[in-house]
Amino acid sequence: MKEIAGGVCAPKGFLAGGIRCGIKASATKRDLGLIYSEAPCTAAAMFTSNKVKAASVLVSREHLAETGGILRAVIANSGNANACTGEAGLSAARLMTRLAAVKLSAKHSITITDNEVAVASTGVIGVPFPVGAVESGMDALIASMTDAGHDAALEAIMTTDVRKKDGAVELAIGGTTVCIGGMTKGAGMIHPNMATMLCFITTDAAISRDCLDRALRHCVRRSFNRLTVDGDTSTNDTVILMANGLAGNPPITAPGPEYDRFTEALLSLCVKLTRAMARDGEGASRLVTITVRGAAEEAAAETLAKSVAASSLVKAACFGADANWGRVLCALGYAGVDLDPGTVDVSFACADGEIPVCRGGVPVPFSEEDAKRILSGEEIEIRITVGKGPGEATAWGCDLTYEYVKINGDYRS
């Protein structure tokens, strides 16, 4: 497996594009994007666990159920979440899929049905959706699509994101080169499970729906579901994985070595995207990685790591480069996992080194100056051992800065 360029357009047969159609009148960047496969795709998806769900989530789930997991395209916008918008919002989401299906059918002289198109939205909640802007922009959107249109589509889904979050990998399956590419957006309102994110992943692998769904769920649990920025789970979270089979590999139809290779590559890409979202958390100055080892099982380690990652006090200490390890133990203690504080070790680390600060639940002598240097890096790690069990898990987050409050204090403007 190796990293390659191209994002969602790296796999064979995928086109993408993006335009500015004026969904958010004050914005100057692209706000409407489209990803299209030249062949029908087996698709798997996961959506927000929030009981308040955006129209795009409801419509995309409906379409995937109707087709049995077959998609040709995803249309996505930023600038308006189309959430809490009632029947008008649902009508707008359905119209977006219909417009994409009609225009793509005409462009490629084929027949694509509405339910072969998924829809995703991100932006402000509770604002009527300006579907007329989408209608007026569809011809330009279709014209923008190319096999190098990844960047334009990615820009179209970004809101408060500052950095691009994308990637692609290639690997051999049955002696055939297979590619997986992805893009995501997400900077705020991010908390398991999943996060405030739109994530689109494409692959030219031939793989059954059951295997694709199993692989996606495995990878989401170990990546996006271990990400937190601010403790808020969005109404719009969407991860869609589409496989068009154009690589021509022997189809993956059951667990085995080839399924494992595909899942390993998919997880690698998902973790890369997760880390990118944590690093680009709203107002963040540091990526914080929390690794817990020695738990009774992986699920316990995951719960503990996520508790530390979500702690506002831990996040604030990371912002101040303050080695306040007591806050780490506090977050472990209220995680709801059986824990003996006398077995807990904590250290802080960065690329330049590691400094132990707690052993067996009590302090060990350390240099405050060295600790501050380590915690001042752009990427820091909190390493925790809680016992001698086999359970291990990693979660990702960021520090909590003044800028986060500034961004979210006037988000609608």
10-residue mean pLDDT profile of the chain (413 residues): values are: 97 98 85 98 93 95 98 96 96 98 97 98 93 97 98 91 90 97 74 68 98 97 82 79 98 98 98 86 80 98 94 91 96 96 97 96 96 93 98 91 66 48
Question: 196 catalytic, yes or no?
Answer: yes
How far is Cα 64 from Cα 59, in angstroms, rounded to an integer? Answer: 9
Catalytic residue, from 97, 196, 203, 238: name it.
196
Instruction: Give residue 189's pLDDT.
Output: 47
* HEC secondary structure over the chain: CEECCCHHHCCCCEEEEEECCCCCCCCCCCCEEEEEEEEEEEEEEEECCCCCCCHHHHHHHHHHHHHCCEEEEEEEECCECCCCCHHHHHHHHHHHHHHHHHHHHHHHCCCCCHHHEEEEEECCCCCCCCHHHHHHHHHHHHHHCECCCHHHHHHHCCCCCCCCCEEEEEEEECCEEEEEEEEEECCCCCCCCCCCCEEEEEECCCECHHHHHHHHHHHHHCCHHHECCCCCCCCCCEEEEEECCCCCCCCECCCCHHHHHHHHHHHHHHHHHHHHHHHCCCCCCCEEEEEEEEECCHHHHHHHHHHHHHCHHHHHHHHCCCCCHHHHHHHHHCCCCCCCHHHCEEEEEECCEEEEEEECCEECCCCHHHHHHHHCCCEEEEEEECCCCCEEEEEEEECCCHHHHHHHHCCCC
Q: Give CA separation, 405 vs 50, 154, 188, 248, in Å.
A: 23, 26, 11, 50
> In terms of C-beta density within 10 A (0-12 exposed, 13-18 middle, 19 or more buried), how is residue 67 classed?
middle
Structural domains of the chain, ranges and CATH numbers in brackets: 2-279 (3.60.70.12), 287-409 (3.10.20.340)
